[in-house]
Structure 1
Amino acid sequence: MVVAPVGRVALLGGGFSTDGDGLLDDWLLNHARGPRPKVCFVPTASGDAPAYIDQFLTAFTSRHCEPSVLSLFRRELDDEALQAFLLSQDVVYVGGGNTANLLAVWRAHGVDRLLREACSRGTLLCGISAGANCWAGGSHTDSFGPLTFLQDGLGFLPGSVCPHYDSEPGRRTSFRETVAHGMLPAGWALEDGVGALFTNGRLEEAVTRRPEARLYWVQADETNGMTEEVLSCRLLNGAPHHGS
């Protein structure tokens, strides 16, 4: 899907659901507008799993922010209230799970359109795994069981996204082949522990909580192969890390 990039989007290779140190979530909040940002967790991709929601609330209630949760499987807000709620958020934090299901549910409820409007007004959109995949035009996913590609993402971020690049067997090889054969456009591959912030589709900052974790730009070359560029990341709570 080709859609003009909009506002700020952050891709997360970790956060409250996987990491004990809180570094990526703290980094994220440092980029939110306002001294006490409103942070809305959207757990659609997990089917609004109660334990996932509890994890978020436990992690963010203790932070200097106003946490909330948007549940769509037991929706309580009418269209007007849903619009007002999402447009009032400073950060929308999307959880992991099934990317294809997430996109279908959002489109059924008009959440995709509201998030684009919110982002254009300054809301920071972010997420992990499926919550990172959804923002791009295409993504590498296991939504249908085996690893494959999804071409109908929201397109807020140009190109494609691949999460779990170093931690899930087959991810790296499969994504490289998918890009090399033109099934997905060039895109961003995140190893676990990396965070990447984009403004209007351009990479603004890349960080990592693990010295060995990297962010890559993967693109096809003229020989029907691909190139994989390692991008510089700043080591959170430590010295700069150059990914070499």
Structure 2
Amino acid sequence: MTVVSERRLALLGGGFSTDDDGLLDDWVLGQVPVRRPKVCFVPTASGDAPAYIEQFFEAYRSRSCEPSVLQLFRRELDDDELRTFLLSQDVVYVGGGNTANMLAVWRAHGVDQLLREAFDRGTLLCGISAGANCWAEGSHTDSFGPLTHLSDGLSLLSGSVCPHYDSEPGRRASYQAAVASRALPAGWAVEDGVGALFTNGHLTDCVTLTPEALLYRVEPDTDSGVSEQALPCRLLARTHQVNQRA
């Protein structure tokens, strides 16, 4: 196995499925030192929803990359072909939906292990909502209906993740309660519009579409129960983006 020195993943609070400006998608592509990176969309959490897949292709066909999709509900690749396909990607972009269901399907098909191998080889792993939750040890989710904690994930990022920290009622309080009670380990709360890049487990870049959207570090605190630290983010602007469009 070829192992690289940098293992990178990104937690996204936006992208092609939620934003019209495409800045976070350009930021993701700008992390890859390849002229036309191979970008694979994995929509497992949505049940491989056709409209979601088409939305991805509409956004990425216009960019300087080679977009593709991995569907598991109508899988066509055998095990060897699946491994070759995933390990050839420069970026794996995981979509939103049901985190718990997605992890179960991945394990049934061995995708969890292939993603670990791709990560070790230098593939940039990223995603929004469930696609951000999956990389950590645990996450805050509505996979079971009401908001709750999920002590499950690929553990490629230490700690826990909470998406939609500012946009969904109850998220902030429920995640903080889970961290305070140690139901979830300390972790990262991502507001909509934020992109956070981790290299070898350390936060190395944080960007935002608006000054109001932030990334937070949430940790248990013996005095107050939980502490929340807002982290500085670079404001994305078109004039600062790498031109990734064809």
So what's the TM-score if we normalise by structure 1?
0.94
CA distance in 2, matches of 1:153, 1:121: 20
| Residue 216 (1) aligns with residue 216 (2) | yes
* 1:3 matched residue in structure 2: none
| 4+ aligned runs moved over 2 Å, structure 1 | none
In structure 2, the residue corresponding to 1:113 is in which secondary structure?
helix
In structure 2, the residue corresponding to 1:164 is in which secondary structure?
coil
Q: Is the CA contact (8 Å cut-off) linking 1:180 and 1:226 kept in structure 2?
A: yes
Greater mean deviation of Cα atoms: 55-64 or 31-40: 31-40
CA distance in 2, matches of 1:120, 1:224: 38
Q: Is the CA contact (8 Å cut-off) linking 1:90 and 1:124 kept in structure 2?
A: yes
* 1:199 matched residue in structure 2: 199
Pairwise CA distance, 1:238: 7.5
1:1-244 alignment, distance < 5 Å: 7-223=7-223, 225-237=225-237
Q: Is the CA contact (8 Å cut-off) linking 1:136 and 1:157 kept in structure 2?
A: yes
Q: Is the CA contact (8 Å cut-off) linking 1:93 and 1:127 kept in structure 2?
A: yes
Extract unaligned runs of 5+ from structure 1.
Answer: 1-5
In structure 2, the residue corresponding to 1:48 is in which secondary structure?
coil
Corresponding letter in the other structure for 1:192: D
Corresponding letter in the other structure for 1:183: A
* 2:243 matched residue in structure 1: none
In structure 2, the residue corresponding to 1:19 is in which secondary structure?
coil
Pairwise CA distance, 1:33: 3.3
Q: Is the CA contact (8 Å cut-off) linking 2:23 and 2:238 kept in structure 1?
A: no
CA distance in 2, matches of 1:238, 1:56: 20
Pairwise CA distance, 1:239: 10
In structure 2, the residue corresponding to 1:28 is in which secondary structure?
helix
CA distance in 2, matches of 1:170, 1:73: 32
Q: Is the CA contact (8 Å cut-off) linking 1:23 and 1:236 kept in structure 2?
A: yes
Corresponding letter in the other structure for 1:230: A
In structure 2, the residue corresponding to 1:93 is in which secondary structure?
strand
In structure 2, the residue corresponding to 1:57 is in which secondary structure?
helix
In structure 2, the residue corresponding to 1:104 is in which secondary structure?
helix
1:47-102 C-alpha deviation (Å, 9 max, x unpaired): 00000000000000000000000000000000000000000000000000000000
Percent identity, aligned pairs only? 73
Pairwise CA distance, 1:211: 1.4
CA distance in 1, matches of 2:211, 2:20: 16
CA distance in 2, matches of 1:238, 1:76: 39
CA distance in 1, matches of 2:238, 2:172: 27
Question: RMSD over aligned Cα, in angstroms?
Answer: 1.3
CA distance in 2, matches of 1:110, 1:69: 17
Seen in structure 2, the aligned counterparts of structure 1 residues 238 and 219 have a Cα distance that, compared at 3 Å, is: farther
Corresponding letter in the other structure for 1:231: L
Q: Is the CA contact (8 Å cut-off) linking 1:41 and 1:93 kept in structure 2?
A: yes
Q: Is the CA contact (8 Å cut-off) linking 1:42 and 1:69 kept in structure 2?
A: yes
In structure 2, the residue corresponding to 1:15 is in which secondary structure?
coil
Extract unaligned runs of 5+ from structure 2.
Answer: 1-5, 241-246
Pairwise CA distance, 1:209: 0.6
Seen in structure 2, the aligned counterparts of structure 1 residues 238 and 42 have a Cα distance that, compared at 3 Å, is: closer
